[in-house]
Amino acid sequence: MNNWWINAILALLFWPGLLSGALFGWFLLWMSRKFIARLQGRQGPPFYQPFFDFWKLIGKKTIIPNGVNPVLFYALPIIGLISIIFALALLPVPGSSGISFEGDLVLLIYLIEMPVLMDVIAGYVTRSVYAQVGATREAILTIAYNLPFLGALIALAVRLHSFKLATFAAAPISIATILAAVALFVALLAQLKVNPFSIPNAEQEIVAGIHVEYNGLPLALFELTHALETSLLVGLISILFIGPFTSIWMKLLIFFVVAVVVILLTNITAAGTARLKVQHAFKFYWTWGIAATVLVVAAALIL
C-alpha cells in the first residue's frame, strides 16, 4: 500500500509527470522553433528559450482584468495544469512506476480534454471579444479533431480487447498501430494548434486569441500546460512503437526518436502551409478524419 503511494507521487512529480514532462515538452517546443527557423534561413532561438520564457512570466506582475472573478482567473489554468499532470502520470512510458489499471484510457481521454475545456472557459470569462471568438473557434475545432483522435484510440482498444494503456505500449507493431499513429498525428496538428490549424490563435484577427487577457503567473501556467500537453500527446504516439523491444534503454531510445520524428513532421507541415479558416479545418477533419477512422477501425477488426 505504502509503495503504491510513493510510486504514484514519483509518477506525478518526476517521471513521466511534471518535471520530466515539462523538460521534455520544452525541449520539443524549442526544437519546433529552431527547426522552423532553420527551414526559413534563420538562426532561431537558443535551446533554453522556452525555459526562460516560463520563468520570466512567473516573475511578472499579474494584472487581473476588470470585472473578472480572480478565483476563476487563477483556478482555470491550475485545474488545466493538474489534469494534464495526472494524465501524464498515466502514460506508460518505459521505466514509469506509475499507476496502471484497466480502463485508464478512459480517464486519460477525460483528462486530456480538461485543459481544452479550461481554455474555452478562460476565453469566455475574460470578457474580451477576441478571446471569445478564439474560444468559439477552439470549441469547434475540438469537435472536429476528436473524431480521428478518439476513433484511433477506440479502434486500438477494440483490437487489443483492453482499455488499459499498458497493453497499448506492450502491443506489437502492426498495420493497425501504424494507421492509428497516423490518425493521432493528424489530430495532433490541431491539438497543438500549429499551422494549418492555428486558427484559434490567429494573431492577425483576434490579437492573441484565448489568452489575450492573461498575463504573468496564470499565463505561465497555461504555457507550462501547453508544454506538458505537447509531451503527453507526442508521447501517446510514441508508446505505440515501443512494444516489440524488451530492453528498457532500447524502449527509451525508440520513444525519444519517435517523439522527435513526430515533432519534425508536425513542423514541416506547419512551415509549408498557411492558416486554414475554421470551416476549412472542420471540413478537413470531417472528411479525412472520418476516412482515417474508418480505415483504422477496419484494419483493427480485419487484420
Partner 1 sequence: MSNIFSRLIQTSRRRSPWVYRINAGSCNGCDIEVAPCFSPRYDGEQIGAVLQGSPKHTDILLISGPITLRTQEMVKDVYQQIPSPKAVIALGSCPASGNVFHGSPTIVGSAEAVIPVDLYVPGCPPRPQAILEAIQKASVMLEKGETRSQREVSHE
Partner 2 sequence: MPYKLPLGPLHPAFEEPYKLTLSCKGEIVEDAQVEVGFVMRSIELLAQRRNYIRDLVLVEHVCGICSNVHASTMAMAVEKIGGITVPDRARYIRTIMGELERLHSHLLWAGIGAEDIGYHSMFMEIYFLRERVMDILEAISGNRVNYGMISLGGVTRDITDPKSILAMAEEIKKGLEKVVIPIFTQDKTIIARTKGIGTLSKDDALMYGTVGPLARASGIEEDIRESFPYAAYDDLGFKKVVLDSCDVQARVVVRALEMMESIRLIEEALKNLPSGPIRPEQVPLTIPDGEATARSEAPRGEVFYYVKSNGTDTPARVKIRTPSFVNIPSIRAMVKGQYLADMPLIQASIDPCCSCTDR
**Residues lying near partner 1 in the complex (CB under 8 A):** 33, 37, 40-46, 48-49, 51-56, 58-63, 203, 207-208, 211-216, 219
102 is a contact residue toward partner 2 (CB under 8 A): no
Among residues 2, 40, 43, 66, the one that binds partner 2 under rule CB under 8 A: 40
Binding mask 222-261 for partner 2 (x = CB under 8 A): ----------------------------------------
Nearest to 252 by CA among 239, 269, 237, 236: 239
205 is a contact residue toward partner 2 (CB under 8 A): yes
Long-range contact pairs involving 260-266 (C-beta distance under 8 Å, separation at least 24): 260/28, 260/31, 262/185, 262/188, 262/234, 262/237, 262/238, 263/28, 263/31, 263/32, 263/35, 263/234, 264/31, 264/35, 265/185, 266/32, 266/185, 266/188, 266/189, 266/192, 266/194
274 is a contact residue toward partner 2 (CB under 8 A): yes
Q: How far is CA 52 from CA 28, 49, 208, in A?
A: 15, 5, 20
Closest CB 42 distance from partner 2, rounded Å: 7
Number of residues that bind partner 2 (CB under 8 A): 26
Nearer to partner 1, 164 or 211 (CB): 211
43 is a contact residue toward partner 2 (CB under 8 A): no
62 binds, among partner 2, partner 1, none (CB under 5 to 8 A by kind): partner 1
95 binds, among partner 1, partner 2, none (CB under 5 to 8 A by kind): none
Among residues 93, 202, 232, 240, the one that binds partner 2 under rule CB under 8 A: 202
127 binds, among partner 1, partner 2, none (CB under 5 to 8 A by kind): none
Q: How far is CA 288 from CA 96, 292, 294, in A?
A: 35, 6, 10
Nearer to partner 2, 129 or 250 (CB): 129
Q: What are phi and psi of 99, to 5 degrees?
A: -85, 140
Closest CB 129 distance from partner 2, rounded Å: 6
300 binds, among partner 1, partner 2, none (CB under 5 to 8 A by kind): none
Pick out residues in 8-37 that bind partner 2 (CB under 8 A).
36
Binding site for partner 2 (CB under 8 A): 36, 39-42, 129, 133, 195-196, 198-199, 202-205, 207, 271-280
